[in-house]
Amino acid sequence: MRFFSKITVLFNACFLVAVVFWYLEKQPHEGSGTQVMPLPWLEGTFVILGYTAIIVNVLFLLLAFIFYSFKTNIKIPRWIIIFNVIIFCCQVYFHFFLK
């Protein structure tokens, strides 16, 4: 569960980067010279990992809820669970209400 929590934080960080890329693409461009170096493969990787982060986050939060409801001692820092809950709320808003 500790390894899965670290993977979930990584996916959620990719989600935040994907949202930044999405926001930057929505901004009007005045010229093509504003971009220093186009990296479509890097942007695509972040977008794919970021958009699948909601699935990984749901699985992690479900497992954390199950373990905590059965009083199983898992050694996950509380800040990771709080971070994942906050990012999950942002993901639900982004995927279902914003787009």
- Evaluate whether residue 34 is within a structural domain: no
- Whole-angstrom distance, CA of residue 59 vs CA of residue 57: 5
SS3 call for 70: coil
Residue 17: half-sphere exposure toward Cβ, Cα within 13 Å? 17
- Evaluate whether residue 64 is within a structural domain: yes
Express each pLDDT in 6-64 by its tens digit: 999 999 999 999 898 888 877 766 655 555 556 677 888 888 888 899 999 999 999 99
> Does the pLDDT of residue 90 top 90, yes or no?
yes
Tell me how many domains the chain contains. 1
- Evaluate whether residue 68 is within a structural domain: yes
Q: What is the pTM assigned to this prediction? A: 0.82
Residue partners of 49: CB distance under 8 A and separation at least 6: 10, 11, 14, 15, 18
- Evaluate whether residue 17 is within a structural domain: yes
- Evaluate whether residue 33 is within a structural domain: no
- Evaluate whether residue 83 is within a structural domain: yes
Q: Cβ(3)–Cβ(76) under 8 Å?
A: no
- Evaluate whether residue 31 is within a structural domain: no
